[in-house]
Amino acid sequence: MKYKSIIGLEIHTQLKTKTKAFCNCKVEFGQKPNTNICPVCMGHPGSLPVVNEKMIEYALLLGRATNSKINDKTKFDRKNYFYPDIPKNYQITQYDYPICYDGNIKILLEDNNMKDIGITRIHMEEDTGKVFHDKDDNNSLIDYNRAGVPLLEIVTEPDLRTPSEAYKFLNELKSILRYLDISDANMEKGELRVDVNVSVMKKEDEEFGTKVELKNMNSFKAVKKALEYEIDRQIELIKKGKKEKIKQETRMWLEDKEKTKIMRTKEEAADYRYFPEPDIPAFHINNDIIEKIENIDFELPLQKRQRFSKEYNLSDYDSSILTSEIDLAHYFEKVLEKFDDGKAAANWIINELLNLMNEDGKEIKEIDVTPQKLASILKLIDQDKISGKIGKKLLKEVYNSGKKPEDIVDEKGWSQVSDSDELENIIKEVLEENNDAVERYKNGEDKLFGFFMGQIMKKTKGKANPKKTNQLLRKLLKNQ
């Protein structure tokens, strides 16, 4: 391809603190509108903001996880603009001294190479309220419960080159936020929002093309689709010699039409009249808090992935699936406390359990197959008490009923016949009933072996232990 695209992301993610960024209002969603508010987050005269220390800790924790530098001295600023969702007419944010800067996140590319994506900055700010234009025929409605909820804004360097790299980066960041337990980062629920900057340039060009900002995507998949569309649009314009038609502007992704539409020409930072927040003096991050963050023990998705591959001899693919969600990674390790074949456990989780969960859209936390129960099923198979085929049926039963695997096996009579005497009797019966076939087998029709196996399975309703049956059948045929 003659063109390359340059992509940078700006991500806002809601922090899981108990209270808001600068007041004591609770952070909880699904409440009655305008109940979690107070004079501070409503900007009443005479009220003063107080910084929530948890917000600072969470920002530093993400800073540590992304190898960022910490601004020893930091401050808050006011970003001024008028819109009804911001009751103070300004947002408290950080302008020139973000708490963290110059970090990176590694993503795994298709060719199995790692790529470093630079993090320009991470800064703290407060969220806005929510405006509803479609809930009332004559009025727009506002809910301020979200106003003042702490956010982290994460800005990447323009290091991403393709929509699929952007998609991978977002998934990695989401995993990290969830591993650190500082944000649920669910884009579909609005807990994480992504703005994209994208430009296109000819490969031989030295200069970047004009940057366009994309907004209004509500899933990582939508981000990928919007980028694909926008890159094509810009390349087409360049090909037609209409490069000047690519303007520095903000475009909106229209999900139903699968295209972008101009929203507004891009505003400049100066338009926001940033100035230092007079109610919160600039401050130093003290050593106690830095030490506290450094002493928190955590394993990031990438480290866990590498450890799983090495420790349990898993493929990179399997490890990356098992570590994509921290709850799933915990589940896997819990299974291994009771059953020590990591490879088998990984196979069963990825190929069987996740399929069942996908079918009814459940998450690992919501299912009745506890790690102990899955370990029991794997043990039953491992000890030849049930066949692998029955194991799949059993898993489905446990999944649907939540009952103990052993109880279901008893109830349904699914135990495998492994007892040699019992098997021998059954095989003898089958051979007696099929005298002709035995004669033909002895005269060289080897393929009849499969026929005998089939008859034995039929007689035992599939419960004969295949390995043992095979051995015994061979022995008994020889003695015929």
CB of 19 vs Zn ion, minimal distance in Å: 8
Per CB under 5 A, which region of 36-44, 91-99, 171-179, 361-369 contacts Zn ion?
A: 36-44
Per CB under 5 A, which region of 15-23, 167-175, 346-354, 406-414 contacts Zn ion?
A: 15-23
Separation between Cα atoms, residue 319 and residue 332, nearest integer Å: 10
Per CB under 5 A, which region of 41-49, 108-116, 357-365, 396-404 contacts Zn ion?
A: 41-49
Q: Where are the alpha helices (DSSP H) in 27-110?
A: 53-65
CB of 17 vs Zn ion, minimal distance in Å: 13
Place of tokens 């005479």: 46
> Taking CB under 5 A as the rule, does residue 55 contact Zn ion?
no
Per CB under 5 A, which region of 38-46, 221-229, 420-428, 442-450 contacts Zn ion?
A: 38-46
Q: Which is nearer to Zn ion, 25 or 187 (CB)?
A: 25
Question: What Cα–Cα distance (Å) separates residue 69 from each residue in 62, 95, 480?
Answer: 11, 16, 80
CB of 28 vs Zn ion, minimal distance in Å: 13
> Taking CB under 5 A as the rule, does residue 23 contact Zn ion?
yes
> Taking CB under 5 A as the rule, does residue 38 contact Zn ion?
yes
> Taking CB under 5 A as the rule, does residue 100 contact Zn ion?
no
Per CB under 5 A, which region of 20-28, 247-255, 346-354, 468-476 contacts Zn ion?
A: 20-28
Separation between Cα atoms, residue 133 and residue 141, nearest integer Å: 7
Per CB under 5 A, which region of 35-43, 162-170, 430-438, 454-462 contacts Zn ion?
A: 35-43
Residues 418-457 that bind Zn ion (CB under 5 A): none
CB of 125 vs Zn ion, minimal distance in Å: 15
Separation between Cα atoms, residue 75 and residue 78, nearest integer Å: 10
Give 362-383 as a 3 state SS string.
CCHHHCCCCHHHHHHHHHHHHC
Q: Which is nearer to Zn ion, 41 or 398 (CB)?
A: 41
- Residue 350 exposed, middle or buried by CB count within 10 Å (0-12, 13-18, 19+): middle
Q: Which is nearer to Zn ion, 19 or 319 (CB)?
A: 19
Task: List CB contacts of 240: < 8 A, sequence separation 6 or more.
Answer: none
Specify the DSSP class assigned to residue 206.
S
Residues 204-263 that bind Zn ion (CB under 5 A): none
Question: What Cα–Cα distance (Å) separates residue 431 from each residue in 83, 227, 434, 474?
Answer: 87, 67, 5, 12
Give 128-194 as a 3 state SS string.
CCEEECCCCCCCCEEECCCCCCEEEEEEECCCECCHHHHHHHHHHHHHHHHHHCCCCCCHHHCCEEE
Size of the site for Zn ion (CB under 5 A): 5
CB of 36 vs Zn ion, minimal distance in Å: 7
Question: Side by side, which strands form the sheet with 3-14?
Answer: 69-70, 100-108, 114-126, 150-156, 3-14, 192-202, 212-215, 249-254, 259-265
Q: Do the Cβ atoms of 193 and 222 come closer than 8 Å?
A: no
> Taking CB under 5 A as the rule, does residue 25 contact Zn ion?
yes
Question: What Cα–Cα distance (Å) separates residue 156 from each residue in 104, 170, 252, 329?
Answer: 8, 11, 20, 27
CB of 48 vs Zn ion, minimal distance in Å: 12
Nearest Cα to Cα of residue 123 among 155, 140, 98, 160: 98
CB of 26 vs Zn ion, minimal distance in Å: 9
Place of tokens 């907004």: 215
Q: Do the Cβ atoms of 437 and 451 come closer than 8 Å?
A: yes
CB of 183 vs Zn ion, minimal distance in Å: 20
Q: Which is nearer to Zn ion, 34 or 67 (CB)?
A: 34
CB of 123 vs Zn ion, minimal distance in Å: 21
Q: Which is nearer to Zn ion, 40 or 456 (CB)?
A: 40
CB of 146 vs Zn ion, minimal distance in Å: 11
Q: Which is nearer to Zn ion, 38 or 476 (CB)?
A: 38
> Taking CB under 5 A as the rule, does residue 107 contact Zn ion?
no
CB of 34 vs Zn ion, minimal distance in Å: 11
Separation between Cα atoms, residue 350 and residue 330, nearest integer Å: 14
Per CB under 5 A, which region of 31-39, 70-78, 190-198, 434-442 contacts Zn ion?
A: 31-39
**In this chain, which of 41, 119, 326, 375 binds Zn ion, going by CB under 5 A?**
41
Q: Do the Cβ atoms of 140 and 131 come closer than 8 Å?
A: yes
Q: Which is nearer to Zn ion, 11 or 23 (CB)?
A: 23
Residues found near Zn ion in the complex (CB under 5 A): 23, 25, 38, 40-41
